[in-house]
């Protein structure tokens, strides 16, 4: 006779997560920021094995049942994996065509010494939206802005706070960002619904942030030169044909988003249009990337566009800061993130199929009596994982899997969860000195985490803003009565 499955106890359900946290702390201590290259993924695989051992030997669950749970869990993330691959391609052709350099160029023109902190935040936001990476933004334009700010007489902590605030705003709102794709994948919603829903809390937060930086800037007596920014702008103009026509491509993609066209065809269209515009406007860059000067333009164009779609390309200039900005890795650049997602979904699949996630979720539900308290609990869990696992990806992945069913049972659409994950996990990672984000930005900028953290107003306000919206029930999307009946039937099965 087949043994009946046992109900996991809270200690049994917590053990795999505690094991995961301890192993990640050791892993981050040894590998640091290189953890995403493979060691974090292996930690998730080993933790999955531990969860499976608990399920098999303590709960009497067959391996085949757990394996079905893993496959189901990974399958639920396949659409997000396709989107991530296409985003890598889009980033490549948008750089090749000059779209991203144009965004950076026009963003830098905003810079004005009289409103430097506001301008630094806005420029960082524009570049981060264009590149989809807060790390790249801080390591390139951020370093240049820090030098300019110091020359103007601003304290380095305030400058770094303005740069990081803008960079993480852009990282949150950019469809090119891995965390912006990861959060809706874990919550069970689509990319563009997630981004639209985030505007409800993110725009008020960035507005307050800019007002604070404006007050600080206008009450200071800083003066100086913006020569570094002018040099970056000049180098971009030397290497790319910068013009307004390039913005047709992002406008087409935005139009498709507004028309609610699914993410995969919208992003594929954007990536292919980027390749077409590269051929039209950047023949000199095409020749440089193809490295086939003696071949026909048709041959060079095909080679360069294909390279931008699938792999790493770079444009070398006379300026090291610009060189760092003009590197993309195509589809291949997304593989480590996809690898992490697959491993995390395997862990989540075992935890879910064995009932361990459900037990933990129900323990939380018993203490949660309102929408506000549920969102506050989610935000606190994300910050907890940022502190304990030192990794923003895991601070999105694990709480995302833990809370997905709770939100549905409470009648909250998944975009509420995905927004909370970003408002609390993505942005607070940089405030923690031992987190990979905090350690990296402190190292890159040469400013200690605890020195810049008090001035990262966007990052500090974001989790409180999302909690406030939860308690006031502002900007919350609920299921209809008909949809709730279907959900109740689903959970009753």
pLDDT score, position 282: 95
- DSSP E strands in 332-379: the ranges are none
**How confident is residue 286, by pLDDT bands cut at 50, 70 and 90?**
very high
Question: How far apart (Å, rounded) are the C-alpha atoms in residues 286 and 327?
Answer: 14
Q: Note the pLDDT tens digit of each residue in 416-459.
A: 999 999 999 999 988 987 776 887 788 778 888 889 999 999 99
Mean pLDDT of the chain: 85
Helices (H), 261-296: 263-281, 283-290
- Copy the structure tokens of residue 490: 């689903």
Among 171-185, 215-229, 427-441, 472-486, where is mean pLDDT lowest?
A: 215-229
Higher-confidence position of 305 and 443: 305
Does 111 score more than 70 pLDDT? no
> How many angstroms separate the Cα of 35 from the Cα of each of 40, 76, 127, 364?
5, 25, 25, 30
**How confident is residue 251, by pLDDT bands cut at 50, 70 and 90?**
confident
- Copy the structure tokens of residue 493: 């099965």
For the chain, the domains span 79-332
Helices (H), 366-456: 371-389, 392-409, 414-421, 427-428, 436-445, 449-452
CA angle 244, 325, 149 (to 5 degrees): 95
Q: What is the mean pLDDT of residues 299-307?
A: 95
State the DSSP string of 70-85.
Answer: HHHHHHTTHHHHHHHH
What is the helix (H) or strand (E) element at residue 328, kind and residue range?
A: strand 327-328
CB 224 within 8 A of CB 152: yes
Higher-confidence position of 448 and 287: 287
Q: What is the mean pLDDT of residues 394-416?
A: 87
């Amino acid at each position: 006779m087949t043994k009946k499955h046992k109900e996991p106890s809270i200690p049994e359900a917590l053990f795999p997560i505690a094991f995961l946290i301890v192993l990640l702390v050791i892993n981050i201590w040894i590998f640091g920021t290189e953890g995403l290259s493979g060691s974090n993924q292996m930690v998730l695989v080993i933790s999955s094995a531990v969860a499976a051992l608990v399920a098999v030997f303590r709960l009497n669950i067959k391996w085949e049942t757990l394996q079905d749970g893993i496959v189901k869990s990974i399958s639920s993330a396949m659409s997000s994996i396709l989107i991530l691959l296409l985003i890598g391609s889009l980033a490549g052709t948008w750089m090749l065509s000059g779209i991203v350099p144009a965004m950076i160029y026009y963003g830098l023109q905003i810079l004005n010494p009289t409103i430097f902190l506001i301008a630094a935040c806005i420029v960082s936001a524009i570049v981060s939206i264009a590149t989809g990476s807060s790390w790249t933004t801080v390591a390139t334009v951020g370093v240049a802005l820090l030098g300019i700010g110091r020359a103007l007489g601003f304290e380095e902590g305030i400058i770094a706070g303005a740069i990081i605030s803008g960079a993480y705003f852009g990282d949150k709102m950019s469809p090119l960002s891995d965390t912006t794709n990861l959060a809706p994948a874990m919550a069970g919603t689509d990319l563009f619904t997630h981004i639209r829903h985030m505007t409800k809390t993110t725009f008020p937060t960035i507005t307050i942030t800019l007002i604070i930086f404006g007050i600080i800037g206008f009450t200071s007596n800083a003066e100086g030169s913006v020569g570094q920014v002018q040099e970056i702008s000049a180098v971009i103009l030397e290497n790319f044909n910068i013009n307004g026509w390039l913005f047709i491509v992002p406008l087409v993609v935005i139009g498709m988003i507004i028309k609610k066209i699914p993410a995969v065809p919208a992003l594929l269209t954007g990536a292919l249009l980027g390749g077409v515009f590269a051929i039209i406007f950047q023949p000199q860059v095409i020749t440089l990337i193809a490295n086939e000067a003696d071949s026909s333009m048709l041959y060079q164009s095909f080679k360069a566009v294909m390279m931008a779609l699938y792999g790493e390309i770079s444009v070398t200039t006379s300026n090291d800061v610009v060189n760092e900005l003009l590197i993309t890795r195509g589809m291949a650049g997304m593989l480590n993130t996809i690898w992490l997602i697959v491993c995390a979904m395997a862990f989540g699949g075992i935890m879910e199929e064995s009932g361990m996630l459900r037990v933990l979720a129900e323990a939380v539900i018993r203490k949660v009596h309102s929408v506000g308290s549920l969102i506050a609990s989610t935000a606190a869990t994300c910050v907890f994982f940022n502190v304990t696992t030192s990794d923003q990806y895991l601070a999105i992945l694990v709480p995302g899997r833990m809370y997905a069913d709770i939100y549905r049972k409470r009648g909250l659409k998944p975009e509420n969860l995905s927004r909370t994950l970003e408002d609390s996990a993505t942005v607070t990672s940089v405030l923690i000195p031992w987190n990979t984000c905090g350690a990296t930005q402190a190292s890159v900028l040469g400013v200690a985490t605890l020195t810049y953290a008090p001035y990262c107003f966007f990052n500090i306000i974001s989790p409180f803003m999302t909690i406030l919206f939860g308690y006031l029930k502002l900007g919350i999307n609920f299921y209809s009565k008909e949809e709730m009946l279907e959900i109740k039937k689903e959970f009753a099965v």
